[in-house]
Amino acid sequence: DWDMGSFVNTAIEDIRSKVGDKQVLCGLSGGVDSAVAAVLIHRAIGDQLVCVFVNNGLLRKGEAEMVQKVFRDNYNIRLQYADAEQAFLSALHGVSEPEAKRKIIGKLFVDTFYNEARNAGEISFLAQGTLYPDVIESKSPSGGPSATIKSHHNVGGLPEDLKWELLEPLRELFKDEVRQLGRELGLPEEMVTRHPFPGPGLGVRCVGEITKERLDTLRDVDAIFIDEIRKAGLYDDIWQALACLLPVKSVGVQGDERTYEEVCSLRAVTSEDAMTADWFRFPPEVLQRASSRICNEVSGVNRVLYDITSKPPGTIEWE
């Protein structure tokens, strides 16, 4: 059995002796790995840690606020918040091809992140929430199993003017150990158990053109779906649940009125490692509640589909 107490003590000693009196930068994604890495490093070196969080406008409802609240208010961590929503919306304007979207989002993220980093003062280390499975995967010749199917979005190589050393305090841990560690360090349960979320965020769930209005609609749909899953006590039985907004309109009726609005699709899968996945068998009443709430509460959506495609042949995300 893994001894967390001694892991924390050793990790803190290691971080202190490696970092000395230098400064560490850590990018927060909202996900559990970077969050745990940041909080652990903060416990070791306090204000020598600076975190950067980029709001790309493609985040879930309340996500940017939650990250600021947790890290700045609860932990008192130095946090640079880059609100890049407008830049991302402009760069994505009129783009609907999935790989084009991914490339634009990935490149703009990297540019925004490093610009922010250059304003963070004299930095010597870049902290990353690399886990043991990532270490193994990056040693495989293909650079990971899905690398050739969708371009994945990671910080990648450093720009030449930034001579940072990597600090990866979680590189011997598995995901369940990281979650345990996150709890021990006081991260909210909601953050510790959160489903995976792709780097390109809602950009690859807003199928077709990305606009602020469509993203807001999708955020509302997603929040209702997740809320109903949580209320049904099923969140932890599901690997990942998500909503997509489709570039399709359909006719409906509300009151005595004919409507002509957008269609959303809900997806929930079980999986061990995201390489294969099966669609989740919901009790019908959970889907029923989600569907009726979405049509009643989200303006601009009048039809809800449930995706029953496994992976393969479908991927988990739609794009």
Q: Does 146 bind ligand XMP (CB under 6 A)?
A: yes
Calpha distance 50→13 (Å, rounded) = 19
Shortest spacing between CB 73 and ligand XMP, in angstroms: 26
**Does 32 show up as a binding residue in the annotation?**
yes
- Cβ 305 vs Cβ 266: under 8 Å: yes
Of 52-60, 119-127, 142-150, 229-237, the window that binds ligand XMP (rule: CB under 6 A) is 142-150
Beta carbons within 10 angstroms of residue 304's beta carbon: 22
Closer by beta carbon to ligand XMP, 44 or else 110: 110
Q: Which of 231, 241, 230, 202 is nearest to 218 (CA)?
A: 202
Distances (CA, A) of 10 to 3, 127, 230, 234, 251: 11, 17, 36, 36, 61
Shortest spacing between CB 269 and ligand XMP, in angstroms: 9
- Per CB under 6 A, contacts with ligand XMP among 106-135 are none
**Does 31 show up as a binding residue in the annotation?**
yes
Shortest spacing between CB 149 and ligand XMP, in angstroms: 6
Q: Encoding tokens for residue 83?
A: 């609100």
Of 49-57, 147-155, 167-175, 183-191, the window that binds ligand XMP (rule: CB under 6 A) is 147-155
- Per CB under 6 A, contacts with ligand XMP among 239-278 are 240, 274
Distances (CA, A) of 280 to 228, 229, 286: 14, 11, 12
For helices 32-45 and 4-19, the axis angle rounded to 10 degrees is 70
Q: Does 155 bind ligand XMP (CB under 6 A)?
A: no
CA dihedral (61, 59, 128, 241) positive or negative: positive
Closer by beta carbon to ligand XMP, 27 or else 48: 27
Shortest spacing between CB 130 and ligand XMP, in angstroms: 12
Calpha distance 126→135 (Å, rounded) = 16
Closer by beta carbon to ligand XMP, 80 or else 315: 315
> Which segments within 23-94 are labelled E, that is strand?
24-28, 49-55, 78-83
Torsion-angle region of residue 234: left (phi > 0), alpha (psi -120 to 50) or beta? alpha
Shortest spacing between CB 99 and ligand XMP, in angstroms: 11
Shortest spacing between CB 156 and ligand XMP, in angstroms: 12
Closer by beta carbon to ligand XMP, 261 or else 317: 317
Q: Does 153 bind ligand XMP (CB under 6 A)?
A: yes
Phi, psi values for residue 166, rounded to 5°: -85, 140
Closer by beta carbon to ligand XMP, 18 or else 150: 150
- Per CB under 6 A, contacts with ligand XMP among 190-229 are 196, 198-200
For helices 85-92 and 98-118, the axis angle rounded to 10 degrees is 150
Shortest spacing between CB 197 and ligand XMP, in angstroms: 6
**Does 19 show up as a binding residue in the annotation?**
no
**Does 29 show up as a binding residue in the annotation?**
yes
Transcribe 23-35 into DSSP letters: -EEEEE-SSHHHH
Size of the site for ligand XMP (CB under 6 A): 15
Calpha distance 90→192 (Å, rounded) = 33
Residues interacting with ligand XMP, by CB under 6 A?
A: 146, 149-150, 152-153, 196, 198-200, 240, 274, 311, 315-317
Which residues are part of a known binding site? 29-35
Which residues are part of a known binding site for ATP? 29-35
